[in-house]
A and B are shown apart, each in its own frame.
Chain A
Amino acid sequence: GAVVSQHPSRVICKSGTSVKIECRSLDFQATTMFWYRQFPKQSLMLMATSNEGSKATYEQGVEKDKFLINHASLTLSTLTVTSAHPEDSSFYICSVRGPGTVQLASYEQYFGPGTRLTVT
């Protein structure tokens, strides 16, 4: 499958500051990228979907002005948590999906290792 990286793996920030998380698709063209959030002992909840070069589509209840998503290239998407608060502390995971090749189906998502955000 595709190789996906996230940076940083862990970040601690003060309340009120902004933090940026990067998601990179290392070995294929990610035409679509997804951002998920996972609270302790809960499952992954989709936050937003972005297609390369287009504005992200946010799920209901996710503030687009608070969680800024940029998908400027086929290999990089960023999630910026603006004016972070302690309740934003969570595990953020990105996943990618490509246009499909002989080896990789067009629907399957490949996941990054996640970023642990702690807001103090």
Chain B
Amino acid sequence: KQEVTQIPAALSVPEGENLVLNCSFTDSAIYNLQWFRQDPGKGLTSLLLIQSSQREQTSGRLNASLDKSSGRSTLYIAASQPGDSATYLCAVYSSGSARQLTFGSGTQLTVLP
């Protein structure tokens, strides 16, 4: 059974700092990996989706990398802003026909002004 782990569980940084969020998964036979953002009491906002054949995806100040063989992904946030404060969730799509999505427990990020 796929398990997704995110480290750290919580992170607090001063504004302007670059930071890295980590995600690891136990079964490397994934179809794709996706990073989401969740604001308190809200639903999920998709940030980046990396196909299993890709090594990274970029959107603005965000860069996500994928090392499928080692079961790891990182989300890099450049020049962090207070508006980046949220919980970041990593999720992997299984490679089976069901394409089931398994979530990590998230990293709660606080960017201090």
Q: How many residues of A contact B (CB 8 A)?
A: 24
CA distance A59 to B70 in the complex (A): 28
Known A107-B31, A107-B32; further 17 A-B contacts with Cβ < 8 A = A6-B43, A34-B101, A41-B108, A42-B105, A43-B104, A43-B106, A44-B103, A46-B100, A93-B43, A95-B101, A108-B32, A108-B49, A110-B46, A111-B43, A111-B46, A113-B42, A114-B43
- Can you list 27 A-B contacts with CB-CB less than 8 angstroms, sorted by A residue number? A1-B46, A6-B43, A34-B101, A41-B108, A42-B105, A43-B89, A43-B103, A43-B105, A43-B106, A44-B89, A44-B103, A45-B103, A46-B100, A46-B101, A91-B41, A93-B43, A97-B99, A106-B99, A107-B31, A107-B99, A108-B34, A108-B49, A110-B46, A113-B42, A114-B41, A114-B43, A116-B41
Q: A98 an interface residue at 8 Å Cβ cutoff? A: no
Q: B25 an interface residue at 8 Å Cβ cutoff? A: no
